[in-house]
Amino acid sequence: MNISEEMARYAALIEVGIDRYLPPEGTRPERLHKAMRYAVQGGGKRLRPMLVLAAAELFARRKQPGPVAAAARGLDPLPAAVAVECVHTYSLIHDDLPCMDDDDLRRGRPTVHRAFDEATALLAGDALLTFAFELIGHSYLPDPGHALVLELADAAGSRRLIGGQVEDLLAEKKAGVSAPELEFIHLNKTAAMIEASLAIGGWIGRGTEAASGPDEDIVILRRAGRHLGLAFQIVDDILDATSDTATLGKTAGKDARAGKTTFVRLHGIEASRRFAKRSSDAAVAEFEKLPGSAPFLAALARTMGRRIK
Cβ proximity to ligand GRG: between 94 and 222 the closer is: 94
Whole-angstrom Cα distance, residue 64 to residue 199?
20
Measured CA to CA in angstroms, residue 175 lies from 212, 258, 285 at distances of 47, 12, 36
Q: How far is the CB of 62 from ligand GRG (least distance, A)?
A: 28
The residue whose Cβ lies closest to ligand GRG is: 44
Q: How far is the CB of 95 from ligand GRG (least distance, A)?
A: 4
Whole-angstrom Cα distance, residue 197 to residue 110?
27
Cβ proximity to ligand GRG: between 75 and 165 the closer is: 165
Cβ proximity to ligand GRG: between 116 and 140 the closer is: 116
Termini Cα distance of the chain: 21
Q: How far is the CB of 169 from ligand GRG (least distance, A)?
A: 9
Q: How far is the CB of 251 from ligand GRG (least distance, A)?
A: 11
Q: Which residue ranges make up the site for ligand GRG (CB under 6 A)?
A: 44-45, 47, 88, 91-92, 94-95, 107, 161-162, 165, 189-190, 233, 236
Q: To 10 degrees, what angle do helices 118-140 and 145-156 make?
A: 150
Cβ proximity to ligand GRG: between 195 and 217 the closer is: 195
Cβ proximity to ligand GRG: between 183 and 288 the closer is: 183
**H helices present in the chain, as ranges:** 3-21, 30-40, 47-63, 78-96, 112-115, 118-140, 145-156, 161-172, 179-185, 192-206, 216-242, 245-248, 254-257, 263-267, 269-287, 295-306
Q: How far is the CB of 236 from ligand GRG (least distance, A)?
A: 4
